[in-house]
Structure 1
Amino acid sequence: MELRTEHLTPVRFREGFGPRFLVTVDVEEEFDWSQPLARENVSVESVARLRKFQRFCEAVEVRPCYLIDFPVANSRIAQDILGKAFKAGKADLGLQLHPWVTPPHREEVNQSNSFPGNLPPALERDKIATLTRKVRDSFDTDALIYRAGRYGLGEDTASLLAEQGIAIDSSVRAYHDYSAAGGPDFGMVDPNPFWLDRDHRVMEIPLTTVFAGVFARSGASGFRRIEKVPRLPGLAARLGLLERIPLTPEGTTVQEALRGIDIALRQDVPILNLAFHSPSLVPGNTPYVRDSTDLDAFYDWWRAVFDHLKARNVRPTGIEEIMAAVELE
């Protein structure tokens, strides 16, 4: 599936709402990203580290949004740590669907089926419904936002979310194309919120990515051309010609992130959506945090980003506040 911004309707917010920022966390099981997916990989020991991250956010009055998948919803530790934050109104609850560990298990575990939107609509519906019920039962709270695992948005996803009363999707990673692996193509989608399904009132808040460099004006179309050539994107970034900057501590330096924030603000992006995966809170789980030094740098990244956002008068926001600020025509 290919999305193109020119075919979509932007979401309008009340005057004075933006700019804001949202921190979204993919709360999921640990698995080796270089190995094939497996149903039995359901360890969620890293969720214990969310206690520290939640306290870190509370200290700076940031309200993170935790997108919880099925194995995490089964975790008593997650229920204790995150459940308290949800009840206290200091964090928001969302869903993240990893099909290979979410019942019903009627599909083969393979790369194509790891993108939820590739599943038959009836199976995607059943998995979303199962996850919704499980998360509600575990945390006694309704989720209002959803992210497809592997950013695997499908043609039917928005209407299926509407059936569950979910008004916001955040499966789109702006300016990223996953079609080579069998997933969706967001290569031409900018980071501005838009109506994913206007009839069902489901909006999209993409993960924020921007372009920098001498040829930044060529943006998505220019990057599409160079990313087809091995190592060329890295060379273009190092030479300051064209650089894609996703707002995440996973693979983006502090300097790049601060530059990316400034670019997004110049482009009047109303909501900056910053994200990471919860296993990165434990050294060795992901390529981005290999040891304790990397973990210290991870928190330093967030400190610098939060300080910069505050200096630029970009305030944190939450899901209900976003929904209340939408202008319905």
Structure 2
Amino acid sequence: MKKPAFLITIDTEGDNLWRNRSGHVTTKNAAYLARFQQICEKYRFKPTWLTNYEMAIDPVYIDFARDVIARGQGEVGMHLHAWNSPPAFALTDNDWQHQPYLIEYPREEMRKKVDFMTQLLQETFNVKMLSHRAGRWAFDEYYAELLIEHGYRVDCSVTPGVNWRFSPGAPQGNGGSDYTRFPREAYYLDAADIARPGASPLLEVPMTIRYKHSGLMNTLKQGYDRLRGKRRTPSVYWLRPTGGNAQQMITLAEKTLADGADYVEFMLHSSEFMPDGSPTFTTEADIDRLYADLEQLFSWLQSRTQGMTLAEYAAAKSAT
């Protein structure tokens, strides 16, 4: 690649799922996505819309995504929230409340859900599904095996340095995936151990994340937390907007590229482009500040990177 890639990944899902534990999901945010698509195209970047069930059946989103695909200005990939994705299977006494991880389900139920979502997306958008991100970032070897069987080429579920064990899913489960010892750069994963490089055809593209503090400081903080009876992962910076953090994102991207990375990966949820679609951006003024931050970040990245979808990046990696 002549320049490092800028990978824009959007978890494309229902409205304010942080707050919604009722079982009734709305998809009003589908009407707010065109503005973000326009700013991406302004800077010649191509988002990957990682799409879950409720969005895949929303007529507004379907029309939007088909247009993006037809014009070659982005990609649709798969995103799967296990508690809300057919076929139905009750894992807990209230799956909407607990929002269990897909990797907590019986293997046969995992397979059925991956089969269904892959087929639904391919039939709806008339394209092969190549890119994927797990719901709630939960990934394991069997999940990887299912993706490989379906011909996926790239996954972006790994959040290096983050331990999701402290985030509960099913009450009888062990929490999410622990990524504290995973690579930070893209790698073809070992299907028998997704934490290490191997010979599988599935490219893992970890999120762009860096620790806020030094290794020594993290050790001291975690030791102090244990004494207080608390468990949490060390603090990190993500390449994602949180409101007024444009310079922080630029600094993170700059350090990542300076370390020799051949990509930086940005993420956000589709509902965050809509007022009151998330806990972070609740008003129209918040959304305007979000776009002001995006203008600064995208402007800085435009001359330093090249826009690619996840599948385009995977194809470029395989050609080298």
Give the share of equivalent positions with the same residue, in percent: 23
1:54 Cα deviation after fit: 1.2
Structure 2 residue runs of 5 or longer lacking an equivalent are 168-174, 192-197, 226-233
Structure 1 residue runs of 5 or longer lacking an equivalent are 1-15, 231-241
Q: Bigger CA drift: 17-26 or 74-83? A: 17-26
1:209 Cα deviation after fit: 0.5
Aligned to 1:4: none
Aligned to 2:144: 158
Aligned to 1:63: 46
Aligned residues of 1:27 and 1:279 also touching (Cα < 8 A): yes
CA distance in 1 between partners of 2:109 and 2:258 (Å): 42
Give the SS at the match of 1:24: strand
Query: What is the correspondence of 1:174-185 to structure 2 with a 5 Å cutoff?
Result: 174-181=160-167, 182-185=175-178
Aligned to 1:321: 312
1:110 Cα deviation after fit: 6.3
Give the SS at the match of 2:279: coil
Say if 2:113 is the partner of 1:127. Answer: yes
Aligned residues of 2:163 and 2:180 also touching (Cα < 8 A): yes
1:257 Cα deviation after fit: 0.7
Kindly provide the CA deviation profile for residues 302-322 of structure 1, in whole angstroms up to 9, marking residues without a partner as x. 1111111124x2221223431
CA RMSD after TM alignment: 2.3
Give the SS at the match of 1:276: strand
Aligned to 2:230: none
Aligned residues of 1:96 and 1:147 also touching (Cα < 8 A): yes
CA distance in 2 between partners of 1:246 and 1:164 (Å): 30
Give the SS at the match of 1:156: helix
Aligned to 1:76: 59
Aligned residues of 1:107 and 1:113 also touching (Cα < 8 A): no
Aligned to 2:218: 223
Q: Bigger CA drift: 242-251 or 49-58? A: 242-251
Aligned to 1:234: none
Say if 2:296 is the partner of 1:304. Answer: yes
Give the SS at the match of 1:166: coil
Aligned residues of 1:117 and 1:155 also touching (Cα < 8 A): no
Query: What is the correspondence of 1:16-165 to structure 2 with a 5 Å cutoff?
Result: 16-34=1-19, 37-38=21-22, 40-108=23-91, 109=95, 114-165=100-151
Q: Give aligned pairs, total.
A: 295
1:243 Cα deviation after fit: 6.2
Aligned to 2:194: none
Pick aligned residue for 2:256 from 261, 264, 270: 264
Alpha-carbon distance change, 104 to 224 in structure 1, aligned in 2, over 3 angstroms: farther
Partner amino acid, structure 1, of 2:12: V
Q: Bigger CA drift: 279-288 or 221-230? A: 221-230
Give the SS at the match of 2:159: coil
Partner amino acid, structure 2, of 1:119: Y
